Amino acid sequence: MPLYNHLKEYRAKIGVNQQEMGKLVEVSRQTISQIERGDYSPSVTLALKIAKVFGAKVEDIFEYEEE
């Protein structure tokens, strides 16, 4: 399932590292890293928490493209 994300770019905009991002959304740094690499697709709840941190819509950060 091709789920692309812009999480790394959004993190850079607000100046937080993966560790800090993980704390903000209550997951590990490793989970944030896996999401950014595309190795892990977040739950809807986690995607909403991430979007809330940035004051953005989920679809601004995560994008699904059909093959």
For the domain that residue 35 is a member of, what is the CATH number?
1.10.260.40
* Domain of residue 50, residue span: 3-64
Picking from 58, 51, 39, 57, the residue whose alpha carbon sits closest to that of residue 1 is 39
Q: Model pTM greater than 0.85?
A: yes
Binned at pLDDT 50, 70 and 90, residue 3 comes out as: confident
Element (H, E) at 18: helix 18-25
SS3 for 39-59, per residue?
CCCCCHHHHHHHHHHHCCCHH
Hey, CA dihedral for 9, 10, 11, 12, is it positive or negative?
positive
| Domain count of the fold of the chain | 1
- Asked whether residue 2 carries a pLDDT value surpassing 80, the answer given is no
Q: What tens digit of pLDDT does each residue of 5-25 get? A: 999 999 999 999 999 999 999
